[in-house]
Amino acid sequence: MNIESRSPQLLASNITMTYGTQRVDLPAARPVLSGVNLRLVRGESLAIMGPSGSGKSTLLHILAGISAPTGGEMMWNGLKYAQMSDAQRTKLRRSEFGFVFQSGQLLAQLPALENVALPLMLAGVSVDQAKQQAQGLFASLGLQGLMDRRPGELSGGQAQRVAIARAMVINPSVIFADEPTGALDQHTGMEVMSLLSHVAQQNSTTLVVVTHDAHVASFCSRTVQMHDGILSDTSTGTSTATGGAQ
Work out the burial of residue 7: count CB atoms within 10 Å of its CB; fewer than 13 is exposed, 13-18 middle, 19 or more buried. exposed
Does the footprint of ligand ADP cover residue 22 (CB under 6 A)? no
What is the per-residue DSSP string for 54-71?
A: SSHHHHHHHHTTSS--SE
CB-nearer residue toward ligand ADP: 20 or 136: 20
- Mode of pairing for the β-strands spanning 33-40 and 45-49: unpaired
Kindly state whether residue 173 participates in binding Mg ion, applying the rule CB under 5 A: no
Q: Which is nearer to Mg ion, 57 or 205 (CB)?
A: 57
Q: Roughly what angle, to the nearest 10 degrees, separates helices 156-168 and 127-140?
A: 120
For ligand ADP, the closer of residues 20 and 142 by Cβ is 20
Our CB check for Mg ion shows the closer of 43 and 65 to be 65
Candidates 47-55, 131-139, 141-149, 161-169; binding stretch for ligand ADP (CB under 6 A):
47-55
CB-based contact 176:60 (threshold 8 Å):
yes
User: What is the pairing mode between strands 45-49 and 206-211?
Assistant: parallel
Angle 120-166-214 from CA coordinates, rounded to 5°: 145
Query: Among residues 45, 54, 57, 206, which is the contact residue for Mg ion, using CB under 5 A?
Result: 57
Sole binder of ligand ADP in the list 3, 6, 20, 104 (CB under 6 A): 20
- If one asks whether residue 181 binds Mg ion (CB under 5 A), the answer comes out as no
34 binds, among ligand ADP, Mg ion, none (CB under 5 to 8 A by kind): none
Site residues, ligand ADP (CB under 6 A): 19-20, 32, 50, 52-58
